[in-house]
Amino acid sequence: MKKIIFTLLIFSLAYSDNSKYAGEFLRIPVGARSLGMGGAFIAIANDGSSFYYNPAGVAISGSGILSFMYSSQFGGITNPLASFFHLGYIQNFQGVGLALNWVRLSVDNIPITPDYTEIETPIDRENLVKNYSVENFFSDVEDAFYFSFSKEFKFDINFGWSRYKVPVSFPVGLNFKLINQKIGTEKATGFGFDAGFMFRFSMDDFLQREDMGDVSISLALKDIGKTRISWSTRREHLIEPTLMFGLAYSLPVNFLAGKITFAYGSQNSYLTDRMYGIEYGYKNLIFVRFGKNAENLTIGAGLNVDFVIVDYAFLSHQLGSVHRVSASLLIDKILKRI
């Protein structure tokens, strides 16, 4: 029953003039590390999921990174209401970050039930429903392909005092995205743009003291000029722009041999979400994360071993739990070993 209700919310878009929830699958956060921090990743955006939170982060995420993610959306790991995938690659060419990413949400084995609304008596309808056996099914498959371009600019801010200059990093980026949706026999396509920038600096340089941490401030705008989705039902939906703001502060904790990162994020579209997250990393090897997204709590953990990074996240939700696993291979590091 949950699967039917969940799917009907999506399926109605193909036949409705209401664009409020158009492209809703694009709002599902990508990546286990970011989910473990409640989605407050907009100002961090330095791994395989950077394209989703802020395309500017592609330039600072490294090079030769192959990323994969699987998420069981709402329900058990083996029998979720929906499955959510991500596959992507980031490469850096002469200071320009390029990325190609594919995101898919799929709901399988949705039963096709007959329309009994014309049956007048409730008893007859009830008997028909009791004796009906499901024989036909359909699926909902929603894909998005992202092509990202990003560059990091570095310069000094002179405060006017002798020898007092603060080095800053200013990455900027742009996403081109292609959307394909198929619900039963109906299909839809769309094309959109995202843009973002980050402003990063060290508090060590700003305060002229050691171990004061790093600050990152971020803005990203999704679906610039509204992304148009055209359905085979001759309906057209517009995805409204979403403004995303992020703030992050990373502080070394020497007595714990690690670093703590505090993050805040917000996104404004037809509703306003606020996200909070915290991450502790021990020697850049083992990570523990906690977060809050709207009314939902998240936890996560990560392991960084040589050229392999593995992350896990759990989100509690009224529709059911979300379990998410993601992994990254540092291809450039592997090739250097070879």
Residues facing residue 28 across a β-bridge: none
- Which one, of 82, 102, 78, 86, lies nearest residue 33 by Cα? 86
Residue-wise pLDDT tens digits, 266-277: 988 766 789 999
Cα dihedral across residues 113, 114, 115, 118: positive or negative: negative
Kind and range of the H or E run holding 92: strand 80-93
**Mind listing the pLDDT tens digit of every residue in the chain (338 residues)?**
555 555 555 555 555 555 666 778 888 889 999 999 999 999 999 999 999 999 999 999 988 999 999 988 776 666 667 788 999 999 998 889 999 999 998 877 666 666 666 666 777 666 666 666 656 667 788 999 999 999 999 988 887 665 678 899 999 999 999 999 888 778 899 999 999 999 999 998 888 888 889 999 999 999 998 899 988 888 888 888 999 999 999 999 988 889 999 999 998 876 678 999 999 999 999 999 999 987 789 999 999 998 999 999 998 776 667 889 999 999 988 888 77
DSSP state of 24: G
What are the φ/ψ torsions at residue 45 (nearest 5 degrees)? 35, 60
Mean residue pLDDT of the chain comes to 85
Give residue limits of the domains in the chain.
Answer: 2-337
Q: What whole-number distance in Å separates Cα of residue 148 and Cα of residue 119?
A: 54
Task: Please spell the DSSP secondary structure of 43-68, one letter per residue.
Answer: TT--STTHHHH-GGGGGGS-SSEEEE
Helix or strand holding residue 109 (H, E): strand 96-111
281 — phi, psi (to 5°)? -115, 125
**CA–CA dist 241, 269 (Å, integer):** 6
Neighbours of 134 (CB within 10 A): 10
Nearest to 298 by CA among 277, 274, 273: 277
Residue 203 near residue 215 (C-beta atoms within 8 A) = yes
Question: In this structure, are residues 168 and 155 in contact, taking their beta carbons and an 8 Å threshold?
Answer: yes
Q: What is the pLDDT of residues 167-221, one digit of tens each?
A: 999 999 999 999 998 887 788 999 999 999 999 999 988 888 888 899 999 999 9
Q: Please say whether the beta carbons of 269 and 275 come within 8 A.
A: no
Q: What is the DSSP string of 115-151?
A: --TT--SHHHHHHHHHH-----EEEEEEEEEEEEEEE
What superfamily would CATH give domain 2-337? monomeric porin ompg (2.40.160.40)
Structure tokens at 223: 């679906």
